[in-house]
Structure 1
Amino acid sequence: MKALGIILAGGNSNRMRELTTRRAIAAMPIHGSFRCIDFTLSNMANSHIQKVAVLTQYNARSLHEHLNSSKWWDFGRKQGGLYTFTPTVTPDNSWWYQGTADAMYQNIEFLRRCHEPYVIIASGDCVYKLDYNKVLDYHIEKKADVTVVCKDMPADMDISRFGVVKMNEDSRIIEFEEKPMVSRSNTISTGIYVLRRRQLIEMLERCHEEGRSDFVNDILIRYKNMKQIYGYKIDTYWSNIASVQAYYETNMAFLKPEVRRYFKEDPKIHSKIDDLPPAKYNEGSEVRNSLIASGCIINSKVENSVLFKKVFVGKNCVIKNSIILNDVYIGDNTHIENCIVESRGTLKANTYYSGGDGIKVVLENNERYSI
């Protein structure tokens, strides 16, 4: 592969509410046994990108634990490999990353030491499959300065949290608005970019000299009339999880057979493996249209839900339209509906949780063994 990869995984979103008080968005569990960053890392590995840098910052401990062995994504190699970069205090700088462009600038020596002619920049908070080779071939064919991977969203969808683009008949981006209140287009940027390494270095240096820090606002939007910026459209599954509602909908999408089949097909998504026994269904359990991960013990009714690893469900419980994260203990006679239950929580017996028409985030840190 003629490119190196950069994964931006250091941000936080208030839209995630309590779910990111313990972890980065990129470390959020997905589909029972994955983390969100697994999808971007697997896309990099499946596209034969041999050198990938992950830029972390906010609540990065669990993300670093997940990435501490790069062999799961085939990055345990002599040439290239997986690199993680966090903000570092130096004699010249003691700031956290001020934005996406500043995050890359603070690690610009990594870019300078590399020899790959191209860079693929991607976000760590999206769920999708993509062959970056096709995007790179398109980028070279168009003789583009920057290529932005785009997707047409449904007309009734709120796209105010995305970058919205408008392209001409040759797919050149002529308008780019970041998180507009009202948009004249339903085509969004997926946060995946391709450009030459030397050009990226020049842009980051100039951005730093001018006191600017954001890659989208201070580079893409600022240069849209000066540089050849093209859009590459995808029509396959893509989701950004950076809100409670989007996170809930993304996990629920895996209950659809066509979505599960799509992600099970080659090339596959890889993740760090835990040695856990298969899920156990005891007498009295009734499971319908749900995903149950390894290590779970089920004694009750589960419907239209996703249960992550090591969840215990007591007797006479009802779990419906909910997401139960890792290592949750649910006591007897508990009712959970339209909820996301935070990991390692203990829900006491005879309790009731409901999100009503919305999604309720449940945090119960009761001491498990004193009940």
Structure 2
Amino acid sequence: MKKTIGLISANYVIEEINSNIQERGLAALPFGSRYRLIDFPLSNLKNSGVGCVGIIMPFNNRALIDHIGAGKAWGFGRKTNSLFMLPGSVYGRKNNADKFLLRDIILNFRFIDYDNADYVILCGVNKIFNMNFQPMIKQHEQSGNDLTVAYTVKDGKDIPLDCAIINQSFLIDIASWYGNLDFLGLMKIIEDYLDDADIGRYEFDSEVIIIENMHDYLKGNLSLLENDVRENIFNPDNQIYTNVQDRAPTFYAPSSKVHNSLIAAGCMIEGEVENSVIFRSSHIHKGAKVKNSVLMQDCNVSEGAYLNNFICDKRVHVMKNVRVEGTMETPYYVQKGQII
């Protein structure tokens, strides 16, 4: 395989989500009871044998830096594998869902030119899938294309995965030729100005979870309760890695009732949980019921409370006998650290 590096863009916003999660960037959004969105592209690159990865950081990057650390959980931070946290432009906060700003690429030109790589794998963070890039790299190499774009088919429509393999020399040329258009996304420039570029397509035919609003976030988490979805996303042949936090096993009291739910370690379940995803160290008190909901880390649901179609950020305290019901289309969301 020719030398390949990875470039993950975390410096973009999706307005409906970022307006809620506020202080943490999109890539640091918790998912699936113990993971964050950044874990999926990082793990895919690691499992594909890509030893050098850069992450274009968002402005609000504290949570992301805290989660990634030196990258050891993904096999980086060693002599042979390198993980770089790269600066992102402030403009990335304004461009709604523009994944690969040319300004960010120019700003990190030295990384892209790192060690004379042949290919660069570009990844976003809000489309979740488990993919080994080796077959895609092989197709790209054999085709001789400048760019190969990954897509999947849903409901008869082609859906781009915000994932592509681009020749390093082609990427450098674009950065050199179109520097005056650095406020545009890379794919927009290729689409509008490079009609003669050789662009290939690679179909990915496994499970993809797309998160573009709070409805998608709730639906995506709850889809993990389906065996086939969970087995595809967390395929043991391509493990999804994360920053491990040691917790005691979850305690299920005699009064607890749990049905079709995903519950992380460190929780205390005394009440009823149905069709829900519960993150670490949350406490569901006796007489409380949580249904069709996502509770992030360290949440506390008091006696008699009832939550349905509810997204609860970290360290939220739900008082006694509080009843909150959203809908699947418009789930009720409570920000971090609130008391309701």
- Under a length normalisation based on structure 2, what TM-score does the superposition of the two structures give? 0.92
1:258 aligns with 2:259: no
Q: Show the counterpart of 2:248.
A: 277
* Cα distance between partner residues in 1 of 2:230 and 2:88: 37
Q: Confirm or deny: 8 A CA contact 2:87 2:107 kept in the other structure.
A: no
1:361 aligns with 2:330: no
What aligned pairs does 1:112-123 form with structure 2 within 5 A after superposition? 112-123=113-124
Which stretches in structure 2 are left out of the alignment for 5+ residues?
none
**Which AA in structure 2 matches 1:188?**
I
- SS of the aligned residue for 2:120 comes to strand
- List per-residue Cα deviations over 1:178-237 (Å, max 9, x = no partner): xxxxxxxx21211111111111011112221345431121224432x2111111111101
* Cα distance between partner residues in 2 of 1:200 and 1:364: 40
- List per-residue Cα deviations over 1:89-114 (Å, max 9, x = no partner): xxxxxx54476221111111112233
Which stretches in structure 1 are left out of the alignment for 5+ residues?
89-94, 156-185
Q: Confirm or deny: 8 A CA contact 1:18 1:361 kept in the other structure.
A: no
1:299 aligns with 2:299: no
Shift of 1:18: 4.7
Q: Show the counterpart of 2:102.
A: 101
What aligned pairs does 1:38-53 form with structure 2 within 5 A after superposition? 38-53=39-54
Q: Show the counterpart of 1:36.
A: 37
- The 3 A distance-change label for structure 1 pair 132 and 220 is farther
Q: Confirm or deny: 8 A CA contact 1:319 1:337 kept in the other structure.
A: yes
1:320 aligns with 2:320: no
- List per-residue Cα deviations over 1:258-299 (Å, max 9, x = no partner): 122231421111111001111111121000000010111011
Q: Show the counterpart of 1:234.
A: 204
Match 1:249 to one of 216, 219, 243: 219
1:130 aligns with 2:131: yes
Shift of 1:342: 1.2
**Which AA in structure 2 matches 1:200?**
L
Q: Confirm or deny: 8 A CA contact 1:12 1:58 kept in the other structure.
A: no
**Which AA in structure 2 matches 1:149?**
A
Shift of 1:74: 0.4
Shift of 1:366: 4.6
Shift of 1:364: 6.8
* Cα distance between partner residues in 1 of 2:158 and 2:55: 27
* Cα distance between partner residues in 1 of 2:78 and 2:336: 42
* Cα distance between partner residues in 2 of 1:297 and 1:104: 46
Q: Percent identity?
A: 26
1:290 aligns with 2:291: no
* Cα distance between partner residues in 1 of 2:192 and 2:324: 44
- The 3 A distance-change label for structure 1 pair 337 and 196 is same
- SS of the aligned residue for 2:239 comes to coil
Bigger drift between 109-118 and 12-21 goes to: 12-21
- The 3 A distance-change label for structure 1 pair 86 and 142 is same
- The 3 A distance-change label for structure 1 pair 222 and 248 is farther
What aligned pairs does 1:1-371 form with structure 2 within 5 A after superposition? 2-16=3-17, 18-87=19-88, 96-97=91-92, 100-155=101-156, 186-223=157-194, 225-262=195-232, 263-356=234-327, 358-363=330-335, 365-366=337-338
**Which AA in structure 2 matches 1:21?**
Q
RMSD: 1.9
* Cα distance between partner residues in 1 of 2:18 and 2:117: 39
* Cα distance between partner residues in 1 of 2:250 and 2:193: 52
* Cα distance between partner residues in 1 of 2:338 and 2:205: 45
- SS of the aligned residue for 1:266 comes to coil
Q: Confirm or deny: 8 A CA contact 1:117 1:197 kept in the other structure.
A: yes
* Cα distance between partner residues in 1 of 2:193 and 2:80: 36
* Cα distance between partner residues in 1 of 2:88 and 2:183: 17
* Cα distance between partner residues in 2 of 1:7 and 1:87: 11
Bigger drift between 207-216 and 50-59 goes to: 207-216
**Which AA in structure 2 matches 1:360?**
Y
Shift of 1:80: 3.9
**Which AA in structure 2 matches 1:361?**
Y
Shift of 1:17: 5.6
**Which AA in structure 2 matches 1:257?**
N
Q: Confirm or deny: 8 A CA contact 1:25 1:242 kept in the other structure.
A: no
- Under a length normalisation based on structure 1, what TM-score does the superposition of the two structures give? 0.85
- The 3 A distance-change label for structure 1 pair 130 and 198 is same
* Cα distance between partner residues in 2 of 1:326 and 1:110: 35
Q: Confirm or deny: 8 A CA contact 2:17 2:213 kept in the other structure.
A: yes
Shift of 1:133: 1.2
Bigger drift between 341-350 and 48-57 goes to: 341-350
